[in-house]
Amino acid sequence: MQLILGIESSCDETGVALVRLPTDGSLPQLLAHGLYSQIEMHRAYGGVVPELASRDHIRRVLPLTRQVLQQADVALSDIDVVAFTRGPGLAGALLVGAGVACALGAALSKPVLGVHHLEGHLLSPFLSADAPEFPFVALLVSGGHTQLMRVDGVGRYTILGETIDDAAGEAFDKSAKLLGLPYPGGPELSKLALDGDPKAFKLPRPLLHSGDLDFSFAGLKTAVLTQANKLGADLELRKADLAASTQAAIVEVLVKKTLAALQQTGMQRLVVAGGVGANRLLREQLNQACAQRGIRVHYPELHLCTDNGAMIAMAAAMRIQAGQQTPDTRYAFDVKPRWPLDSITVER
């Protein structure tokens, strides 16, 4: 049995978690996790301010670590591996997690391991009671990424399609900003959409019939802006309708392309991960479409859809278990603000 501490600090959430890696080959178990969201702090600026994010990670990471250890009733010296998010993300924010992880490792003479943030999201459904089995198609929808992937096992990722411009979360956030909603816009926009008519406005579904599995969301915010300008003073009255129409456009493209990916690969299993995976309409439509086709859908637990430390500790544990990554004691950390997920694919 090994105890793995995971630290996430790539953006505006500080997450720390402790995972137990059993020796019998069974799935790693989450013992405790703690999260501090900086959303309130960044809200005043309408988005994440990288420098403020870094400074706040510094303030939160050690108290959170103490809290998690206490919750799990584990001593610092019991930790076997310290895992941290190595990228992608904000450079300064990543350096906080990497620096703290390496300092902890050096002080405890324990090895450290850098984790890919998106692999964390991708493997986060393995933390839920209804864990998936390999292989599956994954729809990874976060604030910075939108990708369809074929996942044949831990470290075996093939990108089937991805956004050529904005991510789905970005489309939610930017459209929400145009509607005057607070940051982060995704949850706010979907809340407002509950009171609106999704058919009220005709908005573009970019690349819907492109024949490939790529996405494009940059044009959508322009269309939302055009509609908002056209409405002028009436925007206040029609805001919920515009929010509902925007959400419907994003979700329709995500659902159609995901179904195409399932059909193309012939897979019977789908994993949805990343912040936008918390979206209710997306879940409803995917569940319905997949039920009709006999496809099983797996999500991370709702509170583990957005950034957290549990997924980082879990990804580290699964990589170690698969024999694909060995924690080391060089402590010569470097972070990777840009880091394509398929670059960490393990050769067969």
Structure tokens at 31: 């013992």
Using the contact rule CB under 6 A, the part of the chain among 107-115, 180-188, 288-296, 320-328 near ligand KG4 is 180-188
| Interface characters, 112-141, with ligand KG4 (x: CB under 6 A) | ---------x--------------------
Q: How far apart are CA 103 and CA 96, in angstroms?
A: 10
Q: Using alpha carbons only, how large is the chain's radius of gyration in Å?
A: 20
CA distance 227 to 190: 18
Q: Which residues bind Zn ion (CB under 5 A)?
A: 142, 307
Q: Which of 187, 196, 300, 309 binds ligand KG4 (CB under 6 A)?
A: 187
Within a 10 A sphere around the Cβ of 340, how many other Cβ atoms? 16
Cα distances from 152 to residues 158, 167, 281, 298, 346, in angstroms, run 8, 24, 28, 15, 11
Instruction: For the CB of residue 117, give the shortest distance to Zn ion in the complex, in Å.
Output: 6
Instruction: Decide: is 276 part of the binding site for ligand KG4 (CB under 6 A).
Output: yes
The interface partner of residue 125, options being Zn ion, ligand KG4, none and the CB cut-off 5 to 8 Å by kind, is: none
Among all chains, which residue has been given the structure tokens 């044009």? 219
DSSP 94: H
Q: Does 172 bind ligand KG4 (CB under 6 A)?
A: yes
Q: Is 246 in the site for ligand KG4 (CB under 6 A)?
A: no
Joined tokens for residue 226: 């055009």
Residues 143-162 interacting with ligand KG4 (rule: CB under 6 A): 143-144
Compute CA 147 distance to the chain's CA centroid, rounded to the nearest angstrom.
11
Among 181, 262, 278, 312, binds ligand KG4 (CB under 6 A): 278
Residue 121 Cβ vs Zn ion, minimum distance, rounded to whole Å? 5
Instruction: Name the site residues for ligand KG4 (rule: CB under 6 A).
Output: 11, 121, 142-144, 169, 172-173, 184-187, 190, 274-276, 278-279, 306-307
